Chains A and B, each alone.
Chain A
Amino acid sequence: MWDNELFLQTLPVLVKAFVQITLVVTVAGAALAAALGLVWAIALRELPALLGRPLGFVLDFIRMTPLPVHLLVVYHGFTQLSGMTVGIIVFGVHYSTYMSESYRAGIDSIRKGQWEAAKALSLPASRTWRAVILPQAVRNTLPSLGNWAIAMFKDTPFLIFISVPEMVTAAREFGGRHFSYIEAMTVAGLLFLVASYPTAVLMRKLEKKLAY
């Protein structure tokens, strides 16, 4: 059943795919999601209803529909983009809709007095956000953003839908070529576990530390 030889062969193949694709998409996607999520959260609060409502609907629609279909539609709809680029954009946009909810919760937890004080000092809106609200809100939001990034990391195998050779795709290919899937799939699962579990524990610690 278990072949040590194959196990040793599969290890470098998967680690390479893991580092070159899975990690790159996760890091770039999470950065994009964190930035866009903040934009959505502020826009939803600041925009007039005429613009805010449609934006809210679009975000809801993205949040409630499957990521693999988003990958497929962007990949085939914009053929000039490479698979990696599509992956980063789609993961970034999809997860930004979740992260915007996290930011919103963080912003909602800021007490009314903070807004009133900023107003009393007649700070302009941009400074109220930058100097008063966001520094407090983002602190409460960080663990949640980290947790979403971990969730995104575990979704990266969806890239198989647009034929980007990330780790699980590589594992399936390797298994098919050698007529044995157990080594490659086990390694792929373990790599996910090894990378995501400690990060998740770290986030839980961070959450406890930052909570007031």
Chain B
Amino acid sequence: MSDFLQGLLTALPRLLQEGLQATLISFVGGAVVMVVVAVLLGLAEHQGPAWLRGIARFVVEFFRGTSLVVQLFFLFYVIPTLTGVDLGSTWTAILALGLNYGAYGAEVVRGSLNAVPRGQWETATALSMPWFTQMRRVIWPQAWALMLPGFNNLMVMLVKGTAVVSLVLMADLTFEADQLRRRVGTWPAFIAALLIYYVIALLVSLVMRWMERRAQRRLGLGDFEIRKARQEADQVMAGAAAGDAEPVAAGKEGET
């Protein structure tokens, strides 16, 4: 046991020095790309003309349907020979993570826009607000509060997703832990890495929860909407889109 502890105490500072940076860069970069992709595709899916909706739908299903690792390798091995542009490890990782999780995020954005009651659109139109003002002042703030629980889950997924970036030669936590394995032993090396991942995921989740509460307070949303959004958020990675799971939530409403 003391061997284990000693190994852990050797591994932790090493990992914080060596691997953490690459993991954080992939996470932050991936998160920015993810949110941009999610908002653009989600808006296109919900608001665009039919042809744009079709394209957005195709892109979303494509990135959700093919595996993250395949996309990563495609960007890393195929794109350079195809286009002559070599993205390099870091950008390959950021783009692959952002596009993959962004496609899931698009469903969150679309579902949340869907969940804003029609009357809100109609009222805004009746006040003859232009589209952009309607979106910015009326629809988006409400949809935003509904999409945050989904984004919370996606952000945690993204933290875990960064563990694949060593496959494109980034020296992240997973890679460094694997290197440390021979020196400090299997269990201490990997448990140290797991602990760091866990703390990052917890912190990310904490910040997202805080944003959720703030957005909800500003709107005065009721318990029911929040609970429904949370419930659907748990299914984000498992295919179901937010806003589509109404029957289940309606059943719950009847009960309370």
Interface residues of A (CB under 8 A from B): 1, 61, 64-70, 72-73, 76-77, 98, 101-102, 105, 109, 111-112, 140, 143-144, 147-148, 150-151, 154-158, 160-161, 168, 171-172, 175, 180-182, 185-186, 188-190, 192-193, 196-197, 200, 203-204, 207-208, 211-212
Interface residue from A61, A168, A211 paired with B70 (Cβ < 8 Å): A168
Interface residue from A151, A182, A186 paired with B239 (Cβ < 8 Å): A151
Is the pair A109, B252 in contact by a Cβ cutoff of 8 Å? yes
Is the pair A185, B190 in contact by a Cβ cutoff of 8 Å? no
B237 contacts chain A at the CB level, 8 A cutoff: yes
> Of B28-36, B58-66, B88-96, which stretch is located at the interface?
B58-66
Is the pair B197, A204 in contact by a Cβ cutoff of 8 Å? no
Q: How far is the CB of B220 from chain A (nearest CB, A)?
A: 26
User: Roughly how many angstroms separate A61 CA and B191 CA in the complex, as a whole number?
Assistant: 11
Is the pair B68, A150 in contact by a Cβ cutoff of 8 Å? no
Q: How far is the CB of A94 from chain B (nearest CB, A)?
A: 10
Which one of B70, B191, B231 has the greatest number of beta carbons of chain A within 10 Å?
Answer: B70
Q: Which residues of A contact B186 (CB under 8 A)?
A: 73, 76-77
B85 contacts chain A at the CB level, 8 A cutoff: no
B178 contacts chain A at the CB level, 8 A cutoff: yes
B142-161 CB mask vs A (1 if < 8 Å, else 0) is: 00000000000000100111
User: Roughly how many angstroms separate A191 CA and B191 CA in the complex, as a whole number?
Assistant: 34
Interface residue from A160, A188, A211 paired with B167 (Cβ < 8 Å): A160
Is the pair B187, A77 in contact by a Cβ cutoff of 8 Å? yes
User: Roughly how many angstroms separate A43 CA and B171 CA in the complex, as a whole number?
Assistant: 39
Q: Which residues of A contact B87 (CB under 8 A)?
A: none
Is the pair A197, B65 in contact by a Cβ cutoff of 8 Å? yes
Q: How far is the CB of B253 from chain A (nearest CB, A)?
A: 11
Q: How far is the CB of A109 from chain B (nearest CB, A)?
A: 6
B173-187 CB mask vs A (1 if < 8 Å, else 0) is: 110011001000011
> Of B5-13, B75-83, B127-135, which stretch is located at the interface?
B75-83
User: Roughly how many angstroms separate A172 CA and B82 CA in the complex, as a whole number?
Assistant: 16
Interface residues of B (CB under 8 A from A): 61-62, 64-71, 73-74, 77-78, 81-82, 156, 159-164, 167, 173-174, 177-178, 181, 186-187, 190-191, 193-194, 197-198, 201-202, 205, 231, 234-235, 237-240, 244-245, 247-248, 251-252, 255
Is the pair B164, A147 in contact by a Cβ cutoff of 8 Å? no
Q: How far is the CB of B189 from chain A (nearest CB, A)?
A: 8
Q: How far is the CB of A87 from chain B (nearest CB, A)?
A: 14
User: Roughly how many angstroms separate A143 CA and B245 CA in the complex, as a whole number?
Assistant: 11
User: Closest B-chain residue to A181, C-beta based?
Assistant: B77
User: Roughly how many angstroms separate A61 CA and B247 CA in the complex, as a whole number?
Assistant: 31
Which one of A66, A70, A140, A161 has the greatest number of beta carbons of chain B within 10 Å?
Answer: A66
Main secondary structure of the interface of A (DSSP, over half): helix
Query: Please, could you name 24 A-B residue pairs with CB atoms under 8 Å apart, sorted by A?
Result: A64-B202, A65-B197, A66-B174, A68-B174, A69-B163, A69-B177, A69-B193, A70-B194, A72-B174, A73-B186, A98-B238, A109-B252, A143-B240, A147-B238, A147-B239, A150-B238, A151-B239, A157-B68, A180-B81, A181-B78, A182-B78, A189-B67, A197-B61, A200-B239
Interface residue from B70, B181, B197, B248 paired with A66 (Cβ < 8 Å): B197
Sorted nearest first, the 7 A-B pairs with minimum C-beta distance are: A211-B247, A66-B163, A147-B238, A157-B69, A181-B77, A73-B190, A147-B239
Q: How far is the CB of B76 from chain A (nearest CB, A)?
A: 9
Is the pair A65, B82 in contact by a Cβ cutoff of 8 Å? no
User: Closest A-chain residue to B68, C-beta based?
Assistant: A154
Is the pair B82, A182 in contact by a Cβ cutoff of 8 Å? yes
8 further A-B pairs in the complex, CB-CB below 8 A; given A69-B190, A193-B65: A64-B205, A66-B197, A144-B240, A151-B237, A155-B68, A175-B77, A193-B62, A197-B61
Is the pair A72, B177 in contact by a Cβ cutoff of 8 Å? yes
Is the pair A204, B239 in contact by a Cβ cutoff of 8 Å? yes
User: Roughly how many angstroms separate A76 CA and B188 CA in the complex, as a whole number?
Assistant: 12
Q: Which residues of B contact A64 (CB under 8 A)?
A: 156, 159-160, 197-198, 201-202, 205
